[in-house]
Amino acid sequence: MDELGASEPAVAAAGPRLGSDAPPPPLDLLKALGDNTRYAIYLELARSPRPLATADIAEALGLHPNTVRPHLERMRDVGLLQVQSEARGGVGRPQHLYSLAPEAPSLGLEPASFPILARMLLRLAAASGADPVDATEVGREQGRADGERLRPRGCLGAVVGQLDAMGFDPALAVDDDPTTGAAAVTIAFAHCPFRDLAEQRPDLLCSIHRGLIEGVVEVAGEGEQIVGFGSLVDRSPCQVEIRVPGDDALAPT
């Protein structure tokens, strides 16, 4: 195996890509993961609840982005990774975000049975007549438990911490409200780890998510109120709006 950080010739981004229906050849997978750096990258992505940029991976592994980039391209070529582009709102090229391809081996880090179990549970909930009210209460109960654990972070810190741990990649923005002296805080969900299921039953999945946040705010909050929640149900931006009564809660820890 190569030493961690040993680089290879760059693979052009326009190089061959496997078809979406073609499984990665086992020998190619083994060769790709036989390199220490690529194996470390693979573990980092497998453990992450959300897609990662080249800079994120490089920072986590203590490598230069230029060292990481050709390894990512090689892993993408053999079908281990998928990439999506994210516009950054400024001048320049979109940022590439990498995650494991659906057909990539889990290496024991994410049992393949989990997505199957989630789909079966969703079908069971629908067959049993569960409605958004039931789903919200289930989420709220879990949120209360999470809120107790995250309470030392303060309300916003607890909400952001929970969302981040679940892979929603939260982005927080504060807008002072001069009429009330309070602040309206918007926490956007830049990534949805359950989007495939949410597209099938947004009424249930998004209600569970809302309940989770409500439970955290209920337990960890001190006067904060949820004043808006956008989801796939109403096709508005996926985000939560929280009104904070004072300035001391605006900095999540």
pLDDT, residue 109, reads 57
Give per-residue pLDDT as tens, 64-107: 999 999 999 999 988 889 998 877 655 667 889 999 887 777 66
Domains of the chain: 1-110 (1.10.10.10), 130-249 (no CATH)
Token pair 């990539």: residue: 104
Distance from the Cα of residue 224 to its chain's centroid: 25
> In the Cβ-directed half-sphere of 184, how many Cα atoms lie within 13 Å?
11
| DSSP-assigned letter for residue 23 | P
Helices (H) and strands (E) in the chain, counts: 9, 7
| pLDDT score of 178 more than 60 | no
What is the average pLDDT across 39-52?
86
Give per-residue pLDDT as tens, 100-149: 887 777 665 555 566 777 888 888 888 888 899 999 999 999 999 999 99
| pLDDT score of 181 more than 60 | no
pLDDT, residue 215, reads 96
**Average pLDDT, whole number, for the chain?**
80
Sign of the dihedral defined by the CA atoms of residues 173, 44, 67, 58, in that order:
positive
Confidence of residue 53 (pLDDT cuts 50, 70, 90): very high
| pLDDT score of 247 more than 60 | no
Inter-CA distances, 32 with 23, 46, 189, Å: 15, 15, 33
